Structure 1
Amino acid sequence: MIDANTSITTAIGVATSIETSKQELLRDLLKQVSRLFYTTLVVVPADVRDQVSLAYLFARAADTIADTELIDRPRRLDLLGQLKAQFVSDQITWPQVREIQQAVGPIQQNSAERILLERLEDCFKLFQTFTADDRRRIQRLMTTLTQGMEMDLIVFSGTSAEDLTVLKTLEDLDRYTYYVAGCVGEFWTDLMCAHRRALASWKVREMSEVGVRFGKGLQLTNIVKDIAHDLQKGRCYVPAPMLAEAGLTGRDLLDQRNRARFQPVLNKLVRMAVEHLDQGWLYAMSIPRYETRLRLSCMWPILSAGESLKLVMNSPDLLNPAIKVKIPRSKVYQIMALTTSTYACGYVGTAYWGRLRKQII
């Protein structure tokens, strides 16, 4: 018979092992996968940090599967489907998780992404220690995010500029931005309202809709700043009808000399992004000021997106794939320093956002 001391020792050992694994995944590995995200994550309140961190690792794992071109497209869709299946029910199918690890992990050139895939099973074990409600939130997020990745692989069947595909409608663009970013606003709102007492008075459904707009604005920002790079991969996220209004086709954007002709279309896309980000700013300012950390975690991506959009609008090389439109990391740190030193002050932040808006549109 096992005595009480042995049972206690075993329990302590298991708890210590789980805690060690959690630190390795949510601190060490996350820092390797994305140093910038890790830096901004530090400001997220401690009682929701683990959930956000693990959700990010799952999303990066899915993104890695979708982007691994050494695996053919049908197989990537199959592996994405297997990953998504783990979030459809409360049962983890461990052989499928291991199949994903074995198929995708060893061929990764990025060491952090290789380690992430190798530790995918550990991620799911950590996931099982979360509360049922938090698991449900991550399940909903991941089933939606993977739809966006599947849409990428199905709609954009080529891999180069020679096989360029253009989104057919503005509705397709709106649906895509919801799948890959808008749904994060829903997840964030649901999670924060459940764990942060200061947001207990928020109407979750209404604020989730605002959060969706927030996420869409960030994704539209990514789309316009990465347009030249995506075109070279055979993907044009600018809908065909918007291009047609300016007498353009997707293939015209491969010619850098059409930058001026593209400007009216760009103006509309950027205005759409700013209107979504305006809602994001209202979202951030709806967070009580004494929830400084939570406010900052929303202010930083909006102001960074605004700085990116300013660069986009002023870049003559937007259609040049050799030039990446990206704000320097020093600008991100400047935003973080200003807003942190003023304790997420709404007056200071809103003045900054207002100036950016005028410079953008």
Structure 2
Amino acid sequence: MAITDRKQLLGPLLKGVSRSFYLTLSILPAGMRDPVGLAYLLARAADTIADTSLIAPEKRLELLLSLRAQVNGSPDAAALHEVVSEVARQQKDSDERTLLESLGPALSLLAQFSEADKAAIRGIVSTLTEGMEFDLKHFPDESSGRVVALQQPVELDRYTYMVAGCVGEFWTRMTYAHVTTRLGADEATMIERGVRLGKALQMTNILRDCPKDLRIGRCYLPQTLLDEAGISAEELLDPANSLRARPILLKLLRVALDHYRAGIEYTAALPTFALRLRLACVWPILIGLETLLLLVQNERWLDPQHPSKIRRNDVYRILAGSLPRANSNALLRKWTGKRIAAIEAHIESQTKA
């Protein structure tokens, strides 16, 4: 059943489709909460369309582009009905079905925002769906049995922008639009750092999820790096090749760490008394660094049976430990610095081995 009430859309429904993001959203300043929440809902609906493997990739692409047109202000009730009816009935998760059935009210809610917020929401959803479009066009059908890799590191960098870096940009623009306190850096610098924080988080996801993605034909590790390591994308399907592929992991871990450093500076530039904003950055940074530490310690990082996934209790430990540290740049840099140093020590020792 579709949810039509604004509070229900941005409350229970949002919480149902993303408990972790809802936790972050709940601590945002009031002015940011609704536009960021709606952007997430629309992007999540688009992602559900792109990931519904029971529908042929060509049809998913058609429906995805149709939804993008709806978001960008081309109303078409029949087209929206097709999106909902084609995809919603394929969902086993009731929250995902409700999300798709609530797209009409969500698009109506979009029209109620200021022109600036509407433009920002449309921009972020458009860029995110470009990343989904890339996946559907570049990679084979999930059941094809083939594995296709990206070609160059620059392609990976562009991809991490489309699916996450742009979120850092959007987040920063929302901060400048809705938070009146002065930030510790100019807007252009903060946007660049915000983009890099998004890229850091996506690179972490790519490395963590590599075994799962390979099994649906998607290799985000660039072909040039595979060639340097003397391994093919198909050979990555064998967990026994985790050691052969480790040079690729170590190289991309260094890239991710450089992005995290920019993300830490982004957080440090936020006012120390703006605890909500800082926590919204601190939490994903710390969880991301913990995940990289697990990855660099995982001798079978390509094995889907040995995932580098942070435990729930460790997440709670991070949340609790962040509260007394988040409003101090010195404590923040010390805490994150220890994690980065631990990861780099593992990288260094494995590089020399």
Offset of 1:101 from its aligned partner? 1.0
Instruction: Name the residue aligned to 2:349.
Output: none
**TM-score scaled by length of structure 1:** 0.91
- Counterpart of 1:197 in 2: which secondary structure? coil
Deviation per CA, 1:98-151: give whole Å up to 9, x if none.
221111112211111011001111111111111110010001101100000000
Instruction: Name the residue aligned to 1:74.
Output: 58
Offset of 1:253 from its aligned partner? 0.9
2:91 corresponds to which of 100, 108, 119: 108
Over 3 Å counting, the alpha-carbon distance change for 1:183 and 1:255 in structure 2 is same
Over 3 Å counting, the alpha-carbon distance change for 1:343 and 1:246 in structure 2 is closer
Larger relative contact order, structure 1 or 2 (CA cutoff 8 Å, min sep 6): 2
Instruction: Name the residue aligned to 1:321.
Output: 304
Instruction: Name the residue aligned to 2:277.
Output: 294
Task: State the alpha-carbon separation in 1 of the partners of residues 143 and 216 from structure 2.
Answer: 4
Task: State the alpha-carbon separation in 2 of the partners of residues 315 and 244 from structure 1.
Answer: 23
Offset of 1:20 from its aligned partner? 7.5
In angstroms, what is the RMSD of aligned CA positions?
Answer: 1.6
Instruction: Name the residue aligned to 1:6.
Output: none
What letter corresponds to residue 73 of structure 1 in structure 2? Answer: P
1:253-332 equivalences in 2 (<5 Å): 253-332=236-315
- Counterpart of 2:251 in 1: which secondary structure? helix
Conserved? CA contact 2:183–2:270, under 8 Å: no
- Structure label with greater radius of gyration: 1
Task: State the alpha-carbon separation in 1 of the partners of residues 328 and 115 from structure 2.
Answer: 35
Offset of 1:324 from its aligned partner? 2.5
Task: State the alpha-carbon separation in 1 of the partners of residues 8 and 272 from structure 2.
Answer: 33
- Counterpart of 1:173 in 2: which secondary structure? helix
2:46 corresponds to which of 62, 65, 68: 62
Task: State the alpha-carbon separation in 2 of the partners of residues 31 and 83 from structure 1.
Answer: 22
Task: State the alpha-carbon separation in 2 of the partners of residues 300 and 59 from structure 1.
Answer: 21
Task: State the alpha-carbon separation in 2 of the partners of residues 260 and 107 from structure 1.
Answer: 39
Over 3 Å counting, the alpha-carbon distance change for 1:38 and 1:283 in structure 2 is same
Matched, 1:42 2:26: yes
- Counterpart of 1:198 in 2: which secondary structure? coil
Over 3 Å counting, the alpha-carbon distance change for 1:343 and 1:255 in structure 2 is closer
Conserved? CA contact 1:339–1:345, under 8 Å: no
Q: Which 10-residue stretch deviates more, 161-170 or 76-85?
A: 161-170
- Note the residue ranges of structure 2 that are not aligned, 5 or more in a row: 345-353
What letter corresponds to residue 183 of structure 1 in structure 2? Answer: C
Task: State the alpha-carbon separation in 1 of the partners of residues 197 and 294 from structure 2.
Answer: 20
User: How many residues end up aligned between the 2 structures?
Assistant: 342
Task: State the alpha-carbon separation in 1 of the partners of residues 184 and 219 from structure 2.
Answer: 41
Identity of aligned residues (%): 43
Matched, 1:93 2:64: no
1:33 corresponds to which of 2, 14, 17: 17
**TM-score scaled by length of structure 2:** 0.93
Instruction: Name the residue aligned to 1:359.
Output: 342
Instruction: Name the residue aligned to 1:9.
Output: none
Conserved? CA contact 1:181–1:219, under 8 Å: yes
Offset of 1:200 from its aligned partner? 6.4
